[in-house]
Amino acid sequence: MSKITYELSGKLAVVTLSDPPLNLVGLDMGNDFKAVLDRVEKDAPRGMILKNDEGNFGAGADVNMFAGLSPADARKLFSDFLSVIHRIESLPLPTMAAVRGLCLTASLELALSFDFIWASDNATFGQAEATIGVFPFAGGSQRIAARAGTARAKEIVFGARLYPAATFERYNIVNRVLPDAELTEKAMSYMKNLADNGPTVAIKSAKKIINTYNASGIAEADRLMIELSGPIFATEDVKTGVDSLLKNGPGKAKFAGK
C-alpha cells in the first residue's frame, strides 16, 4: 500500500502523506516519492503541494532502518534519500509543504526541500537527530542555515529541541502560520492560483537563479540571470503580461505558463 497519494487538481500536483498517524520516512516512503516525482515529470504540472490531512506531517525517520546498518550501507541509504531531496528542489515549478502536527528530523528535511513551508498553528518542528547521537542525514543542517543563518542552525541542530510553528516563522524557516482549520484551504488556494494563472517560465527562471545564489553566490546568480533574460522574451507569458498591463493595469494578467 502506497504511503503517499498523488492527484492533479487543475495544473496543481497534490501529494498527500497517507501513513498516519506518524508518516515515518522509511524505504517504502522513499520509493513512493520517487514514483511521485516520476509522475510529476511526466504530467508537467505548474505547481506542487505536499500535505497531510490527518495525524502528523511526519515524526521523522523510521529508526528501524538504522539497526545493524554498516557504514557502507549508511552512505548508500542517505545518498539515495538526498537524491530525492535534490529532485524536489530542482523541480521547475513552485512547491509548498503544508505542515500540521509533528514535523521532525527527516520529515523536516523533506519539508525544507520545498520552496515554501506553510504551517498550522499546532505544528511542531525539530531537528532532533542529536538525541540518538547522529546529525541530520538529508541536508537539514545546511538548509536551515540557508533560511535562518548559521547561528540558528547550530542552535536547532545541536540542541535537538522542539519548536512551535510561530518560532520557526520568526526564524524565517516557515513562511506562514495559519489556524489549523484554515491551513489546507488557504494553502491549496495559494498554490492553485500560482499553478493555474502564474507566470510559470518566470517562476522557473527566478527559482533557478535563487537556488544558484544559495549554491554559488551572487556573481554566479548574476551570470545566470543575464543568460536567462533573453529567452524569457520569447514566451507567450511576457506578451500576455505586457499587453494586460497596458490595457488593464497591473495584476490582471492570467498566464498560460508558456
Here the CATH number for the domain that contains residue 215 is 1.10.12
**116 and 55 within one domain:** yes
15, containing H or E segment: strand 12-17
Mean pLDDT of 95-122: 97
**207 and 129 within one domain:** no
Q: Are the C-beta atoms of 88 and 148 separated by less than 8 Å?
A: no
**185 and 160 within one domain:** yes
What span, in angstroms and rounded, lies between the C-alpha atoms of 206 and 228? 9
Q: What is the tally of structural domains in the chain?
A: 2
Say if residue 1's pLDDT is above 60: no
- Of the pLDDT bands very low, low, confident and very high (cuts 50, 70, 90), residue 80 is very high
For residue 210, give its domain range. 199-248
The answer to whether residue 53 is domain-embedded is yes
The answer to whether residue 187 is domain-embedded is yes
Here the CATH number for the domain that contains residue 164 is 3.90.226.10
**48 and 94 within one domain:** yes
Q: Report pLDDT for 22.
A: 93
pTM above 0.75, yes or no: yes
**217 and 102 within one domain:** no
The answer to whether residue 89 is domain-embedded is yes
The sheet carrying 176-178 orders its strands as 4-9, 12-17, 47-51, 95-99, 116-120, 176-178
Phi–psi pair at 235, nearest 5 degrees: -90, 150
Q: Report pLDDT for 58.
A: 96
Mean pLDDT of 10-27: 94
Last residue of a domain, one of 153, 175, 195: 195
Q: Are the C-beta atoms of 96 and 115 separated by less than 8 Å?
A: yes
Q: What is the sign, positive or negative, of the torsion defined by CA atoms of 200, 219, 109, 3?
A: positive
**94 and 47 within one domain:** yes
Q: What is the sign, positive or negative, of the torsion defined by CA atoms of 156, 157, 158, 161?
A: positive
**154 and 221 within one domain:** no
Q: Are the C-beta atoms of 3 and 18 separated by less than 8 Å?
A: yes
